[in-house]
């Protein structure tokens, strides 16, 4: 068995303890005060250098090697979701309406124990490791990564490469999922207000029906992806919400469309934004209505670096076995603000198999009954440590100090 896997297994109970504590006391984005305080306390108990309040509630633990060299960053998100938990587990959230339904509790526990192990082996490091505990990943369009970057988390010393993992309820424990290039999509939002002229339902000729204009707009918007985007590129435009009218016999004077747009490249992202404006302007003009458009750029696409992906795959083959890697053929259209880090420095984001086994049903992330297989926790630690060994250790670790 891989050495890091052995060492991480020795921390299994500690990992579960940290993860379940965080799970019971979840906090929403930008409000992770107790989460950050708890993590800082356990890290300082290990003699690790900790800096708090980085970009808000962000936390950075730094392990400095015995000699100089590159700087590698590892990132975990800390925030929970505004979801009432329905797992029925003894460690379920005790905070009403808030729960860790996306595995961020596991990410933080994994990174905390990774820092503990690397601190013990810091004399073998030729360089520095920054463990970044990030707030507010679930809070687009700003998120938590960008405020930390603006606060200098990637500087002093400058980060050369960065890595992050995420629980994957669709993958079995002991496997990872990763892609070269686009890993996650950009996530943008368009809110369109159509302004017509109301009137009596019996006299439509005296009105401008905002519902009819909205209907034509919805249909026209669906032509953008199907007729303007290369079929080999992944893109989605979804009108998730349409609100209009107050009464069955009154012609609506206003309709509001709220859309999400997911793209995996800069060209498609800009093209869709431009086309939405053109279509809404054209349809409303043709039908005698007016409009207001608010377009919000969310997280950019997360683009994995080829060299960093190679490092992750190599680590997985060492830690988990040669058949452990699942190359992601299709880009996930979920958004992830780790993309902001990847815009600044090369790095890689990968999925860590966390599927439940036995009689327990596996629910997807963001479901009230979402939970994960805690057997993945030490494997996440071992993966992070192996990546750092490959990047920074002066010589391969044969075992022991």
Structure tokens at 130: 């920054």
Q: Which among 164, 161, 204, 116 has a CA at the least distance from the CA of 349?
A: 164
Please give the helix or strand (H or E) that residue 96 lies within, else none: none
Phi, psi of 100 (to 5 degrees): -90, 85
Q: Helix H segments across 244-375?
A: 266-286, 306-319, 338-344
Contact between 283 and 215 (Cβ < 8 Å): no
> At a CB cut-off of 8 Å and minimum separation 6, what does 88 contact?
none
CA distance 56 to 1: 40
Active-site residue, from 32, 79, 253, 389: 79
Active-site residue, from 27, 77, 105, 137: 137
CA distance 167 to 171: 9
For 371, other C-beta atoms within 10 Å of its C-beta total: 24
Distance of CA 372 to the CA centre of its chain: 17
Q: Give the total residue count for the chain.
A: 401
Tell me if residue 358 falls in helix, strand or coil.
Answer: coil
CA distance 209 to 205: 9
79: annotated active-site residue: yes
CA distance 198 to 195: 9
The reply to whether omega before 238 is within 30° of 0 (cis) is: no
- The residue behind tokens 């519902």 is 211
Contact between 67 and 123 (Cβ < 8 Å): no
Which residues are known catalytic residues? 79, 137
């Amino acid at each position: 068995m891989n050495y890091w896997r052995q060492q991480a297994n020795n921390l299994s109970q500690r990992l579960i303890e940290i993860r379940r504590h965080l799970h019971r006391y979840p906090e929403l984005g930008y409000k992770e005060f107790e989460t950050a305080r708890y993590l800082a306390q356990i890290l300082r108990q290990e003699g690790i250098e900790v800096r708090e309040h980085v970009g808000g509630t962000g936390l950075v633990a730094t392990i400095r090697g015995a000699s100089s060299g590159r700087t590698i960053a590892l990132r975990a998100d800390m925030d929970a979701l505004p979801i009432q938990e329905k797992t029925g587990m003894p460690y379920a959230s005790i905070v009403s309406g808030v729960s860790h339904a996306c595995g961020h509790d596991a990410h933080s526990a994994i990174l905390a124990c990774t820092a503990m192990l690397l601190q013990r082996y810091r004399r073998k490091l030729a360089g520095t490791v920054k463990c970044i505990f990030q707030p507010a990943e679930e809070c687009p369009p700003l998120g938590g990564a960008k405020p930390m970057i603006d606060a200098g988390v990637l500087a002093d010393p400058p980060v050369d490469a960065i890595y992050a993992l995420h629980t994957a309820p669709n993958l079995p424990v002991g496997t990872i999922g990763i892609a070269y290039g686009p890993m996650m999509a950009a996530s943008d939002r368009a809110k369109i207000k159509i302004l017509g002229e109301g009137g009596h339902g019996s006299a439509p000729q005296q009105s401008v029906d905002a519902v009819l204009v909205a209907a034509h707009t919805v249909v026209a918007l669906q032509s953008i992806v199907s007729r303007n985007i290369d079929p080999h590129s992944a893109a989605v435009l979804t009108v998730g919400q349409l609100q209009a009218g107050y009464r069955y016999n009154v012609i609506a004077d206003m309709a509001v469309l709220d859309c999400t747009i997911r793209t995996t490249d800069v060209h498609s992202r800009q093209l869709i934004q431009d086309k939405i404006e053109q279509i809404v302007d054209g349809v409303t003009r043709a039908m005698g209505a007016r409009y207001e458009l608010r377009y919000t750029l969310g997280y950019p696409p997360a683009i994995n670096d080829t060299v960093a992906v190679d490092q992750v795959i190599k680590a997985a083959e060492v830690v988990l076995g040669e058949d452990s890697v699942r190359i992601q053929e299709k880009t996930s259209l979920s958004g992830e603000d780790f993309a902001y880090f990847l815009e600044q420095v090369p790095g890689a984001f990968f999925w860590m198999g966390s599927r439940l086994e036995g009689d327990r049903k596996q629910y997807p992330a963001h479901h009230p009954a979402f939970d994960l297989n805690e057997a993945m926790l030490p494997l996440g630690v071992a993966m992070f440590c192996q990546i750092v060994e490959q990047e920074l250790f002066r010589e391969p670790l044969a075992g022991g100090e």
